[in-house]
Amino acid sequence: MTAGHSLLARFAALDSATVSDALDACGLPPGQGGLRPMWGTPKVAGFARTIALEPLTGEHGGSHILTDAIAEAGPEDLLVVANGGRTDVSSWGGIVSVGASVRGVRGVVTDGACRDVEQARELGFPVFARARVPVTARGRLRQRSSGEPVSLGGVTVGPGDVVLADEGGVVAVPRERAAEVLEAAERLAEREAAIEAEVRAGVPLPDAMRDARLAGTEATR
C-alpha cells in the first residue's frame, strides 16, 4: 500500500462532519453542503484532479470537455469540476462516467449539475453534484483549465488536495496540511465516540456534551 493510499484510507474511515470540525480547529475553511450524492449513499476520498469549465462563446474546438483530464487520471484520483454552481446545464454525464470508471477514478464532485445518473449508478461510480438536469454541455460549456486550482463553492481546491465526499457534504484538505488535519480529525472521532458511548450508557446529555470536552480542552472520562 502506498503512502497516498494509506492516507486516503484513513480519511475514508471518517465522515465529512468530523473532517470539517478538524478543518475548523486547524484554521482552514470547513466543509460545505449542497453537493449531494446523485445516487445511493457513497463515500469517497481521493486526491483532487481539478478541471474548470466556463460558458462557450463562439466555435467549439478541440477535445470534448473533461476527456483529457479523465484520460490522465488514476485510481487515487477524485475529479473536481468547477462550474460556478450552474444547474441549468450538465457538467458531467454518462459517457465520461464510463471513461472515468474504466480508469479506476474514485468519483467526481462537480460544482454544477449532472445528467445520466442511471448510468453512473449502474457503474457504481460516485457522482456528487448540486442538481440533475438533462441539458447537454455541448455548445454551452468549454474547458478553461485542467490541473490548476479551482473554486468549489467558494473553497479553493488545488490539484492533489484531499477531497472527501459523503451524504453529509464535501470537505477539501490542502495536501500540505493533510497529515495535521487527519490527526485532528481522528482525535475528534475518538472523543465523540467516547461521548456517544456515555450517552448510550445513561450519562445525562448536558454532562456528556460539555463545550470544553467537545473542544478537546477537557479530558474524556
pLDDT for 221 equals: 47
Cell 466555435, residue?
Answer: 59
pLDDT at residue number 61: 55
pLDDT for residue 63 is more than 60: yes
Q: Is the pLDDT of residue 64 over 90?
A: no
pLDDT score of 88: 98
Q: What is the pTM of this model?
A: 0.92
Q: Which residues of 95-104 are buried (b: 16+ CB within 10 A; e: fewer)?
A: ebbbebbeee
Provide the pLDDT confidence category of residue 209 given band limits of 50, 70 and 90.
confident
Give 133-163 pLDDT, tens digit per residue: 999 999 999 999 999 999 999 899 999 999 9
Could you give the C-alpha distances from 40 to 13, 25, 80, 162, 212, in angstroms and in order?
18, 30, 19, 22, 36
